[in-house]
Amino acid sequence: MPDAVLTASPLRTIAAKDIRDALRDRFIVIVTAFLGLAATVALMTGAIALRGDVATYEAAKATLLAIGKAADAIKAPEFYPLRLLRGAIEQIEIIGAAIAILIGYRSAASERGRQTLALIFTRPLSRWQFVAGKALAGLGLLAGGLALVLGGLTLVLQLMSGIGLTADDLLRITIVWAVATAYTACFFLLGFLLTLHMRQPSHALLVAFAVWLLLVLIAPQIGDTLDPDNQVAGGVFRQLNIAKSDQVQIMKGFATYETLRDGIEQASVTKHFERFTFAVLGIKATYAGMPLGPILTEMLGNLVWIFLTALGLGALALAVPINPDRLAKA
């Protein structure tokens, strides 16, 4: 008779194995390094420009002092170093989501291809523990990868921009890291779910990337492209000198159109991520210099949407039974 006793949590065992396995996969390591590099290049370009602006201001101030005038004779410009993270956020939005799909795909396809699903499911553990272990590993990999990327960027920002980061800035970056983990987790779960359940793993990858194309590249752009006010540089209303009250009146005539346009945007988790991060980091001019509290209150809807999408996909992964055909055949 077997002498087995449950001494280790299967969930933790599966997660630890998956992380170790993925970290030894050169492809995963290389694409993550590529994301870091792309984000760093985007940041460095902005940081060099900002450093130039800071130097120009410092030089002007020194000149004023040298000729005996007060330094406040010219208005001190406001520098927002976190806005330099715009490029990095866009890379996470697009490349980060694609990498998350690949990690999710790999997580399920490798078990199917190696016939190890059958070995796991003949062990005394529940299928929810398997799915939860996999999800935990995915979250760990994404959180770790994003921490490395954002941590590295913070360092570069500090060193290159010439402006010291405050505790508030670091808190904002930490919040963005947590939300970016939840955002990329949505795509990990999408890739994992489809690959685990579809007949052919390769077809699952194609479907996952079709969804990625729709959610990440098409839907968020539709909002901007179809916005009537975006059709002319600087805005139609502004160019025509139309007063705010009249703008509201005019837009009432486009209510259905606007609802549809907004609905497409709302359906994209990427748009919610962009709105949230752009606000928290002050990338969108309206939020630059605004305290964190009111921003979080205003952006709560976007935050809820991101976390609900991740939780919904996680619940789906736990709820859908696995077809025995997927256990032993690739």
Partner 1 sequence: MSDPILSLHRLRQVFDGFTAVDDLSMAIPQGEIFGFLGHNGAGKTTTVQMLTTLARPTSGTATVAGHDICADPLAVRRAIGYVPENVRLYDTLTATENLLFFARLSGVADPRARVREVLDLLDCADLADRRVGGFSKGMRQRIGLAQAILHRPAVLFLDEPTSGLDPMGIKMLRDLILRLNAEFGMTIFMNTHLISEIAKTCTSIAVLSHGRLVFHDRIEAVTARYGDDTALEVLYLSLTPVGRLSEVA
Which residues form the interface with partner 1 (CB under 8 A)? 1-8, 10, 13-14, 17, 20-21, 24-25, 110, 113-116, 118-126, 324, 327-328
Name which of 14 and 100 has its Cβ closer to partner 1.
14
Name which of 203 and 329 has its Cβ closer to partner 1.
329
Name which of 20 and 238 has its Cβ closer to partner 1.
20
Name which of 119 and 170 has its Cβ closer to partner 1.
119
What is the smallest separation between the CB atom of 9 and partner 1, expressed in angstroms? 9
Radius of gyration of the chain (CA): 24
What is the smallest separation between the CB atom of 116 and partner 1, expressed in angstroms? 7
Name which of 115 and 166 has its Cβ closer to partner 1.
115
What is the smallest separation between the CB atom of 321 and partner 1, expressed in angstroms? 10
What is the smallest separation between the CB atom of 113 and partner 1, expressed in angstroms? 7
What is the smallest separation between the CB atom of 137 and partner 1, expressed in angstroms? 12
